[in-house]
Amino acid sequence: MAPRPTASRSHVAGQVVRSGRVTKGKSEKAPANKVPSDQIKVVSTDQVLEQVHGEPPAWAENRQQLCDAIPWFHCTQGAMYHSEGFCWGFLIDADGGTRTYIDEEIIITRIGGCCTKDSEGNLALQKNQEADSTLARSIIASLKSKLPVGLIIGSKHKILNRDLPHRYNVMAWFRVTNVWFERIGTNHGAKVRFEKLDLAEKSWWAAKGSAPPMPLELRDFDTKPQTLKCEGCSKVSIRVYEDGWMCLQPECDRFWKIGNVSSPPELTFNPAFLSFRSRPDDEILPNCSLVPDHLSTLDEDATDISTSRGAWKGIVCPECHKCIRRTLWRGWKCSDDSTGTQTGGNVCSFERLMTMNPISRQVLLDDSEQPSMRREMVFDRKFMIPEIDDVSLSPYRKLTYKLDGVGFITHFVANAEINSRPNGPDDLFIGLQREDLGLKRFPLSSSLVAGTLTAHFAVNHGSPYKYVVSVLSKAFGEAPEVILRALGRLSWATEQAVISAGDMYMPPNELLTLGYFEGMKIGYHDDGESSLGPTIATLSLGAKSTMWIRMKYKHFNGHTRRVDAGDGKAVSGSVLQEDPVLKGCRLEDERRALKERFEAGEISQDEYDNSRQTLFATQKGKQAPPAIKLELHHGDLVVMHGENLQRYYEHSVVPENKLRFALTARYVKPDHVDAAEIEKGNFTLTPDQIYDGK
């Protein structure tokens, strides 16, 4: 038997393989003494990294950059990007599992999925991975359809032991040559062998100073590793390990056995399995380029192109090759989408700002949205039906949605007469596009995947306010005319709504402008910070959108969400300390009855809590369906009023077309603002900036 390299004694291209996960065949080329010392970087006492020969064609500091710019890797989690039943892209990073392998042309790894972390932080298969699982099916489909797969290597990759230049590095196109199953722990999981498609070109991740690849004409494409038919299941399996041939069909009772004996835990790859190469095949063609040249496909002269879906994808910086997202309203700036950690102190100066021809309101109108004097209104009975008032604020139609004990939402429905007035919504819409407002996309403060940017642009004027993200605030004193005019309208709407409810009017001192391109939206959130007054007014400009309002999960269900304890088991959520038992919540009658008994002193706190736990155990918690649906059109105003509205309910807005602005004004309590920033919220409107409701 060939010597079996193990953790303690194997040397792979000049460095000790520390993980003990890889066992390489004897076909290894570069022996340790061939690596010049200037090409070795000592990272820590036990890690010596070789320099790589070249540079990746594209790279990223985080997954979001990668997913935004690389069309074959739209995936923020997991190793494999699959869609439409195929695997398109694959990331090899921290943990490829046991028996992984990498060299300049071949990669062997597990396909991901079905995993959990063991006590040492390594990924362990939690259950069997079957051939009909989504991941296995996708990778097998790519193999059978000869679909090339793009590979990316992350700097946490433990086996290559080269000094990878960036956190995520695009490698090359590969073909899938084999997919098979192995026993991994007590379960079985799928493995894959990738082979680089272009064998003529030297891989950038090859060691610096290493020999060029063997020319194609000198290569042997005929010798293949041994394949044998299993006497048990009659299916053919390839010989992956030198230690012996094994049946690799998990359903066979001879699976993962050499002869009659279970395979040893340490195995050596069959050199023939590592060294065979597939003949170049013209049929294997990627269906897009490895690194997209997105900028050259944008025709800026076409109207509205700068706000189309295609225009807010990420690009690969033509200068430094970093994947950059469109963080700026006007375009891409390499240094703006940077954590600064991967640039080695060099800031790339690339930027591409678009012309941004203003789009007129008419371009966004669809057939069902002809300008009319008063829009016809059809209400869907699935949602709350409002009170309709066509008189008191004419020419606006006033729709009021009342949530008992919670608050109300007033929708001021505009029409063509209102919109076309000088300095009205039509003019404001064009005005906002002409101004350089400094709209930007910011990282979401609470997101499952760190670094995720909002799917809308934002800029704040007036008192500082942190909504779902932190946005720098500009003083009203520096605000352009359009912002002050919008503030005039929003102050009017706030006053009308609040006074008609008999509440005190607090003039807004903050205005957040959101800009939405095609396909952008704002997900469910509330505007209920302790620093804010109870009233929030929004002016919609441009594309039509739908606003959804639903009860928050915990108020709908009466308990917080169940959380994953990390071992695959769910920890049940805790019951609410104070359950408002809102109208329409789940198990409303039962919850109200328990609450009444508790408040009447008939049951103790413990009994109340335990009875609710028992009640909730009968049904799985779920998200509340939307209670209110508002169709927001150009020029419409919406006022949400009531602290409890933000406490118990959340809202989201989904626009439908290429360009929409939402200008939302709030009252930020001065005791929550730094003294130095108070004056940012001061403003005086000129008489013609004050709105009179016409």
Nearest Cα residue to 20 out of 97, 105, 92: 97
Asked if 246 interacts with ligand AKG (CB under 6 A), we say no
- For residue 561 the two structure tokens come to 């969400």
Beta carbon nearer to ligand AKG, 277 or 485: 485
Query: Do residues 104 and 205 lie in contact, with contact meaning Cβ atoms separated by under 8 Å?
Result: yes
Residue among 460, 491, 494, 538 that touches ligand AKG (CB under 6 A): 538
Nearest-angstrom CA–CA distance, 427 and 434? 11
Asked if 579 interacts with Fe ion (CB under 5 A), we say no
Asked if 522 interacts with ligand AKG (CB under 6 A), we say yes
Query: Do residues 76 and 128 lie in contact, with contact meaning Cβ atoms separated by under 8 Å?
Result: no
Asked if 518 interacts with Fe ion (CB under 5 A), we say no
Asked if 510 interacts with Fe ion (CB under 5 A), we say no
Asked if 527 interacts with Fe ion (CB under 5 A), we say yes
Burial (CB count <10 Å: 0-12, 13-18, 19+), residue 254? middle
418-424: long-range contacts, CB 8 A cutoff, minimum separation 24: 418/635, 418/694, 419/361, 419/371, 419/634, 419/635, 420/371, 421/694, 423/485, 423/688, 424/635
Nearest-angstrom CA–CA distance, 428 and 483? 9
Beta carbon nearer to Fe ion, 125 or 498: 498
CA–centroid distance for 496 within its chain: 39
CA–centroid distance for 334 within its chain: 20
Instruction: Give least dist CB 366 to ligand AKG, A.
Output: 19
CA–centroid distance for 684 within its chain: 41
Asked if 653 interacts with ligand AKG (CB under 6 A), we say yes
Instruction: Give least dist CB 308 to ligand AKG, A.
Output: 19
Beta carbon nearer to ligand AKG, 252 or 511: 511
Start-to-end CA distance of the chain, whole Å, equals 91
Cβ-proximal residues to 215 (8 Å cutoff; 6+ apart), any chain: 200
Query: Do residues 1 and 258 lie in contact, with contact meaning Cβ atoms separated by under 8 Å?
Result: no
Asked if 15 interacts with ligand AKG (CB under 6 A), we say no
Beta carbon nearer to ligand AKG, 174 or 396: 396
Residue among 512, 520, 532, 575 that touches ligand AKG (CB under 6 A): 512
Beta carbon nearer to ligand AKG, 277 or 456: 456
**Cα distances (angstroms) measured from residue 134 to each of 89, 190, 193:** 14, 12, 18
Beta carbon nearer to Fe ion, 268 or 454: 454
Binding-site string for ligand AKG from residue 471 to residue 510, where x marks contact by CB under 6 A and - marks none: ----------------------------------------
Query: Do residues 633 and 364 lie in contact, with contact meaning Cβ atoms separated by under 8 Å?
Result: no
Asked if 39 interacts with ligand AKG (CB under 6 A), we say no
Is 651 flagged in the annotation as binding?
yes
Instruction: Give least dist CB 101 to Fe ion, A.
Output: 50
Binding-site string for ligand AKG from residue 436 to residue 475, where x marks contact by CB under 6 A and - marks none: -------------------------------x--------
Instruction: Give least dist CB 312 to ligand AKG, A.
Output: 16
- Amino acid identity of residue 552, one-letter, is K
Instruction: Give least dist CB 17 to ligand AKG, A.
Output: 52
Pairing between β-strand 101-102 and β-strand 168-184 as defined by DSSP bridges: unpaired
Residue list 583-622, contact with ligand AKG (CB under 6 A): none
Asked if 527 interacts with ligand AKG (CB under 6 A), we say yes
230 binds, among Fe ion, ligand AKG, none (CB under 5 to 8 A by kind): none
- For residue 616 the two structure tokens come to 């909730």
Residue list 540-579, contact with ligand AKG (CB under 6 A): 540
Nearest-angstrom CA–CA distance, 411 and 493? 9
Using the contact rule CB under 5 A, the part of the chain among 148-156, 158-166, 523-531, 637-645 near Fe ion is 523-531
Q: Which residues are annotated as a binding site?
A: 525, 651
What are the residues binding ligand AKG (CB under 6 A)? 467, 512, 514, 522, 527, 538, 540, 651, 653, 662, 664
Annotated binding site for 2-oxoglutarate: 525, 651
Summarize as ranges the residues that interact with Fe ion (CB under 5 A): 527
